[in-house]
Chains A and B, each alone.
Chain A
Amino acid sequence: MDIRHDDNDRRRRNNNGYRGGGNRKRARDDEDDYHYDPRRRPPQRQRGGDDQPASRRRYEEVPFAKLRRMTLNIAGSAQLPQDEAIELAKVFAENYDDERLRNDYFDIIIQLILEQPVKIPFVAAVIFYGNDAKSEIMADALKRVSSRAQEALNGGLWKEFKLMLRFLACLQARYDGDGVFTLLNQLFDTVVDLQSANENDVVGIELVKIILLTIPYALAYSGSAFESQAKDVLDNTGIVASNMLPMEGLIHSYLPDSEEKPLAYHSVIGLLQQQLTTEAETGWPLVVLPKFDREGLRKQAGEDTMTDAPASHPFPTIEIPSPMNPGSRPLFPESYLSLYGNQDLVTVPDITNIASSLFRDAIVDTIDQLHFNRDAAAKLLIEIDNYWTVGVFAKRSTSFELMREINEEKAHFKPEDVIMDAIFSQIFKLPAPEHKLVFYHSIITSACKIAPTAIAPSLGRAIRAVYKYIDIMDLELVNRFLDWFTHHLSNFEFRWRWTEWLEDLPLSDLHPKKAYILAAIDKEIRLSFAKRIRSTVPEQMHYLIPNRLDEDNSPDFKYDDPSTPYSQEGQALITQLRKKASDEVIQEIINKIHTLAVEQGIADVLVPSTDALVTSICRMGAKSLSHVLSCIERNKDRLLSVANESDAARRQIVASVVEYWKDQPGVAVRIIDILLNYQILAPITVVQWALGDFLGAGEVLAKSWVFEMVSNTMSKVANRNRQIIVARFQKGLPQEQIEMVEATLTKDRESARELFKYIDDQLSGVATGAADTLIERESSGELSAEDGQYVRAWAVRWRTVFQRKAQVEESVVGEQAVDAKIKYLAAQPEPVPIEEDANAAGNGVDVKNSDEIELDI
């Protein structure tokens, strides 16, 4: 049973959106779901009995099963959520004496808060009504949730802290005094301390985000009593929220200098501050947050039975630790991106509307927390309208055209656009997304499978919105988009309306749109094969996929052509290598190449001999990656000795691989990766080849595979450094090991800096037009003025990406970052091991999802 939501949509029975399995299946699932007390379970059904519905409901659902089922499905059924919450509260109150039930039910509540944050207001409503029925319910819930919040705060698990706090805020109406606002003010005091200690502090930024996102929930569920408290908090956060950190200059989705941008840069907290201020001015309508009748349960119970005023509780104590644990994930400022915000028609909330932040935050968290079941996450997204005020969304799967009509009367949001916007915001999150990008690919795939007719048109508009501004989008994001686009199409028969891009085919290959098309075709072929991809594109594009790619043959061995220099030697070499001839025989042929090279006045004779060797290896290993791997393995010592002897020859290794696989650069990229792992190549070899030997006037910067090769190489460097600091942060490391690790770190950190510096220098030459080859080719007319401008623009975009990467690495493995962490760890009382603490706090939700950016201490 993967997904447990009732598909019956109470709000639009006539909607033609997705509707999955009926109640029959669900009823069975719910029984499967039951785990409370196996001893009291109904006798095991025989497998064959599954088809006999009559026998299935013979047993009355025990209270816990009912509580679990209804809670997990809350707001997802035909019932009104308020009625569900009241019923749950009553059942819970009736069975409250059962300790095991009580404990297990609170566990479910905590788990639901963590895993499906869009449901927090509904879960809180259960406890809110529970308080009316039995005040211990709320008292105990506060105890448990606040202790979980405390753990999260101690562990630097910001998202979990935020979610626990949100639950507490939803109960604001039932606290003594100022309730959650007292804590928000204390948190803000901490922000002030953090910010005054370090102007680049990011933990404070994160705390401000949490504070700001808690306020709307506290106000929506407590009436107008706390508006002045909210105003006070907002007055304080204003300065921090509007402050710009240096890092923010590097996380723009679109080039900061471009004139026509679909969306200007906005920091998440800057926007929140503005939106909340606007909301305060209009008396906090908070339209989208679903409201409940606070007297709901009391009205049902009848006034006479409930004469007492509802119990109120002191806000639970949460201690703010000092020093703050910054958490295991590096924190960065966040920018707000919307792909649909720039349409002529409103389908997603405008950035001035608090709804945009509330939707985005809750949806993104739900996606990220449900990473372990993309289908369940996608299903929840498809039904996203269930979890907000009825009527703020248009019916599911309302067409864009129909939206135009509907919105003439009153603005509605299109649920599909809102959820796709949220998913893409994660794919496009800089500097790094929360999970591996492929997770977001898979959730889009799932959503498309569940509700194809609803999702596909939204997706199409997203693709067009990205393509339209692809020339000014951050280059790393373009490559993420390319990766998603091609992977997505590979799941849907490679269907895309290429015809609408045909007009861009005549453009120069250096134009960003043309370059994108070329890269997309290459990536599609990598996941499939040339002939198949040709059959999916219009005929006008066939020339992009030459027939020679269809042949099953390996690429030609250039030495077979007698006009190739050293052709005889090249042929002899491959013959002997195939025979696995002795080193002497091989060396003899190589020496011959050297002799000829000297005669021809070649400075480094190892270059032509390495070309022959590597080209032979590529040819022999052309059949598959395992073939080339075993060829490399067999010739490893030879390659290593060449690599150690001459830098030029070492770069020739890259050159020969790329040359041999010029029609299938994806294969070259993989082989280079293998060679890096064998340390036959060093990162600097690859970078110097790509941005030195191969750079030309800079035309190669338009090729996505070159970007891929350089980024992959730099990721390897970054990952290694991060592994070193993980080793450094280990507890109880003996002094001599500390010294050893630090020496390695110092060395590797320096070489990473040199690499970034080399990249930046090379790119800046092209970006400013000062590079010699660029000047030559432009003045000779070899490169048109237009292409010259494209080349410069590519260099600018490359540069932004690698400057950011350099900065990110500094903030994670730089001296300052490492020192701060060591100091923090040293200040920790023995022996609360951070790692275990973080794990325990995970509570079933993975806190350690390794992705590129993760610093896993």
Chain B
Amino acid sequence: MSPNRSTVQRLDQPSSYASSKNRRRRRDEEEPEPDLMEKLKDATTLYVGNLSFYTTEEQIHELFSKCGEIKRLVMGLDRFQKTPCGFCFVEYYTHQDALDCMKYIGGTKLDERIIRTDLDEGFAEGRQYGRGKSGGQVRDEYRQEYDPGRGGYGRALADDYGEDVD
């Protein structure tokens, strides 16, 4: 018997961001592309976003170990400064723990910020660095709003505001 569609949406599905890599968005399709589903069907790693630059590994451990033992934690770093830039990868020992993390921790707060979790196909060297022009995450380049937890205004805009990007 194939599993039936649930009566409400499942929170342990990869997000539209994860599936955007091979995006062919159809509104009647709740599930992402089969390719991606296949890659993520045993995923034990999560991408965690919207962290404050000041959130420590210890804080992340404290929260994320509520879903299971953590095998590895890789902090996202500014490519040039090698300082935390607001994301990380959390790897669990089991796929179930990663799914539970999607369901129970994604969208809740850490360090008083709503964090985002997404199933990830697994950490690879190099992915710990921000891909933005100035070293951090792309989203922090042009951000219009002031976010004290993520270095103030967007960096590309910071010059105009006279903001010290360091």
Interface residues of A (CB under 8 A from B): 1-4, 32, 34-35, 38, 41, 44-45, 72, 107-108, 110-112, 115-116, 370-376, 435-439, 441-442, 445, 483, 487, 490-491, 493, 526-529, 624-626, 666-667, 670, 673, 840-845, 848-850
Interface SS of A by simple majority? helix
Complex Cα distance, B24 from A44, in Å, reads 14
Contact between chains at B62 and A666 (CB < 8 Å) = yes
Please indicate the chain A residues that have their CB under 8 angstroms from the CB of B146 in the complex. none
Contact between chains at A372 and B11 (CB < 8 Å) = yes
B124 at the interface (CB under 8 A from A): no
Please indicate the chain A residues that have their CB under 8 angstroms from the CB of B69 in the complex. 673
Which stretch in B40-48, B53-61, B133-141, B157-165 binds the other chain? B53-61
- For window 94-128 of B, CB contacts with A under 8 Å fall at 94, 96-97, 100, 103-105, 108-112
Closest-by-CB residue of B relative to A71 is B7
CB contact between B58 and one of A111, A112, A526 (< 8 Å): that residue: A526
B75 at the interface (CB under 8 A from A): yes
Task: State the Cβ distance, A191 to closest chain B Cβ, in Å.
Answer: 29
Contact between chains at A373 and B96 (CB < 8 Å) = no
- For window 59-85 of B, CB contacts with A under 8 Å fall at 59, 61-63, 66-69, 73, 75
CB contact between A438 and one of B8, B11, B105, B109 (< 8 Å): that residue: B105
CB contact between A38 and one of B28, B75, B94, B97 (< 8 Å): that residue: B28
Contact between chains at A490 and B57 (CB < 8 Å) = no
B23 at the interface (CB under 8 A from A): no
Closest-by-CB residue of B relative to A851 is B100
Closest-by-CB residue of B relative to A856 is B96
Contact between chains at A844 and B66 (CB < 8 Å) = no
Complex Cα distance, B67 from A840, in Å, reads 25
Q: A38-B28, A436-B104, A624-B56 are in contact. Are A850 and B4 (CB under 8 A)?
A: no
Between A and B, 24 residue pairs with Cβ closer than 8 Å are A1-B9, A4-B8, A32-B27, A44-B26, A108-B7, A115-B6, A116-B7, A372-B103, A374-B103, A435-B100, A437-B66, A439-B103, A445-B108, A490-B109, A491-B108, A527-B110, A626-B75, A670-B58, A843-B3, A844-B3, A848-B96, A850-B68, A850-B94, A850-B100
Complex Cα distance, B144 from A810, in Å, reads 59
Please indicate the chain B residues that have their CB under 8 angstroms from the CB of A850 in the complex. 68, 94, 96-97, 100
Contact between chains at A626 and B10 (CB < 8 Å) = no
Please indicate the chain A residues that have their CB under 8 angstroms from the CB of B109 in the complex. 490-491
Complex Cα distance, B66 from A487, in Å, reads 10
Task: State the Cβ distance, A526 to closest chain B Cβ, in Å.
Answer: 5
Please indicate the chain A residues that have their CB under 8 angstroms from the CB of B3 in the complex. 842-844
Further pairs besides A45-B27, A844-B6: 15, Cβ < 8 Å? A2-B9, A44-B26, A108-B7, A111-B7, A115-B8, A371-B103, A372-B6, A373-B10, A435-B100, A436-B68, A526-B58, A528-B59, A625-B58, A843-B4, A850-B96
Closest-by-CB residue of B relative to A715 is B69
B21 at the interface (CB under 8 A from A): no
Task: State the Cβ distance, B113 to closest chain A Cβ, in Å.
Answer: 11
Q: How large is the interface on B (under 10, 10 to 19, 20 to 34, 35 or more residues)?
A: 35 or more
Closest-by-CB residue of B relative to A148 is B1
Complex Cα distance, B58 from A107, in Å, reads 45
Complex Cα distance, B61 from A667, in Å, reads 10
CB contact between A72 and one of B7, B12, B73, B96 (< 8 Å): that residue: B7
Contact between chains at B96 and A441 (CB < 8 Å) = no
Please indicate the chain B residues that have their CB under 8 angstroms from the CB of A435 in the complex. 100
Task: State the Cβ distance, A172 to closest chain B Cβ, in Å.
Answer: 25
**Could you mark each residue 1-43 of chain B with 1 if its beta carbon is under 8 Å from any beta carbon of chain A, else 0?**
1011111111110000000000000111010000000000000
Task: State the Cβ distance, B38 to closest chain A Cβ, in Å.
Answer: 18
Contact between chains at A527 and B63 (CB < 8 Å) = yes
Closest-by-CB residue of B relative to A440 is B104
Please indicate the chain A residues that have their CB under 8 angstroms from the CB of B56 in the complex. 624
Complex Cα distance, B19 from A303, in Å, reads 57
Please indicate the chain A residues that have their CB under 8 angstroms from the CB of B8 in the complex. 2-4, 115, 370, 372-373, 376
Complex Cα distance, B110 from A438, in Å, reads 14
Please indicate the chain A residues that have their CB under 8 angstroms from the CB of B68 in the complex. 436, 850
Please indicate the chain A residues that have their CB under 8 angstroms from the CB of B59 in the complex. 526-529
Contact between chains at A373 and B9 (CB < 8 Å) = yes
Complex Cα distance, B4 from A112, in Å, reads 11
Contact between chains at A528 and B66 (CB < 8 Å) = no
Complex Cα distance, B63 from A441, in Å, reads 12
Complex Cα distance, B112 from A374, in Å, reads 20
Contact between chains at B10 and A439 (CB < 8 Å) = no
Task: State the Cβ distance, A840 to closest chain B Cβ, in Å.
Answer: 5
Please indicate the chain B residues that have their CB under 8 angstroms from the CB of A45 in the complex. 27
Contact between chains at B104 and A442 (CB < 8 Å) = yes
Complex Cα distance, B68 from A843, in Å, reads 25
Q: A111-B6, A442-B105 are in contact. Are A44 and B62 (CB under 8 A)?
A: no
Q: A116-B7, A436-B66 are in contact. Are A849 and B96 (CB under 8 A)?
A: yes
Contact between chains at B1 and A438 (CB < 8 Å) = no
CB contact between B112 and one of A1, A376, A441, A493 (< 8 Å): that residue: A493
Please indicate the chain B residues that have their CB under 8 angstroms from the CB of A32 in the complex. 27-28
Closest-by-CB residue of A relative to B112 is A493
Contact between chains at B58 and A528 (CB < 8 Å) = no
Please indicate the chain B residues that have their CB under 8 angstroms from the CB of A844 in the complex. 3-6
Please indicate the chain A residues that have their CB under 8 angstroms from the CB of B111 in the complex. 527-528
Task: State the Cβ distance, B60 to closest chain A Cβ, in Å.
Answer: 9
Please indicate the chain B residues that have their CB under 8 angstroms from the CB of A673 in the complex. 69
Complex Cα distance, B3 from A34, in Å, reads 18
Complex Cα distance, B2 from A107, in Å, reads 11
Task: State the Cβ distance, A661 to closest chain B Cβ, in Å.
Answer: 10
Please indicate the chain B residues that have their CB under 8 angstroms from the CB of A626 in the complex. 57, 73, 75
Complex Cα distance, B26 from A848, in Å, reads 31
Please indicate the chain A residues that have their CB under 8 angstroms from the CB of B94 in the complex. 850
Task: State the Cβ distance, B128 to closest chain A Cβ, in Å.
Answer: 11
